[in-house]
Structure 1
Amino acid sequence: MDIELSKLLNELNNIYTKSDISKYCLENGHKWSYSLVTSTLEKNGPLVIGFNWGASKGEEYEPQTEIKKANFLTEDIGSLSRIYPFCRKHFGDDFISKITQSNYCFFRPHNESQISSKDIELCEPIFEKLISIIEPSIILCFSSKLRDSILRSGKIKSLEKLEIEYDRGSLKMTYSAIKATLNSGVKINFLPHPNYPIKGEARIKAWDFCCGRNS
């Protein structure tokens, strides 16, 4: 598996040089680079996916150059650490130790809006290959852009949705929690990102619907 991922990392290096964000970084003196995956290097584990790897203001980042075994619990995963209690509740501690983490877009921007549609298109073939290599037991998706792309693509075999209503100030809001099965047979749950402004009770309902008793 590490050999397959290393080859994919080389492909990622090649496409990064063609990306809009790479050009933007060169023109503006940024060093944000890219990453492919943080992995246990074991197939059939859970996969956690967001939209992109972040770049903090004023920071520089080296590109990922090697594939090595990593533990989700000991990595600096930022706001994603707030999914730990939900994962423990629905899947147990062993589940967390087996998590592989990646993103729909492998390029680092400071803001999500800096990723162009061209850059997403560049990443999609790499993303598809990554999924086929990892063969995840389940995917927890925290990216609305990836959710929308998958729902449009015809890659869903079956789907269940729960509309969750909540208040945001004086506004009445609705969040759609979705649990689905891909054509490949892999379960994928679309959940609110930890930074998504949703009330606590609504977030709990989304997790309970998608992951309760492992769904």
Structure 2
Amino acid sequence: MSRIRQKNQELIIEVACHLFAEQGYAATKMADIAKQADIPKPNVYYYFSTKDNLYRAVLNTVIQPLLEASKPIELLDDPAEALTEYIKTKLRISRDHPDASKVFANEVMSGAKSLPSDIANELLVQSKMMVSKFETWSEQGVMAKLSPQHLMFTIWAATQTYADFSWQICNVMDKPKLDDNDFADAADFLTQFVINGCQIKQREEAERL
């Protein structure tokens, strides 16, 4: 792929991401994206063919990081370490992909009508993996017996709200935009909240009980 082509595609995705987040999928026209990106409309179609393809490209900018975010839970045996890394990564996604996160949230809230079936399936597989790992930790005694589904929902909500409801959060905190220190503070708080609330134990401690 040529550097110019790649640069144009990235620009189109960035502009489309912002417009999809601000206006929604249905209200956003390819002509609007082309105009704001200052790229001829035929070029937008040349790169992405259809609005659906461009929408999928926008979703992928946040879906792929979201899918990768659960790797610590999948691969690590220590729940404290895994949950700490997962929460940090989820907050990093909210910080780095705020518009794409809003597009994804809007898609889910509308019933995921335009979400490609393969992406929906990948997300479901990820969710089942996380639920299974939480259940395993509970059975091993390193985490309290609790609803694994509601634990997962709580972490989703607590981390993604920093992107999806950024206006409200910034308004309460009386600042135009959250900075890296704000996200670090959020990560520290949420990690302690989840680890303490789930009564996470070291394996040595769990074996003594």
Q: Which has the higher strand share?
A: 1
The question of a shared fold, defined as TM-score above 0.5 by the shorter chain, is answered with no
Whichever structure has more helix as a proportion of its residues is 2
Higher Cα Rg: structure 1 or 2?
2
TM-score for the superposition, normalised by structure 1: 0.29
TM-score under structure 2 length normalisation? 0.30
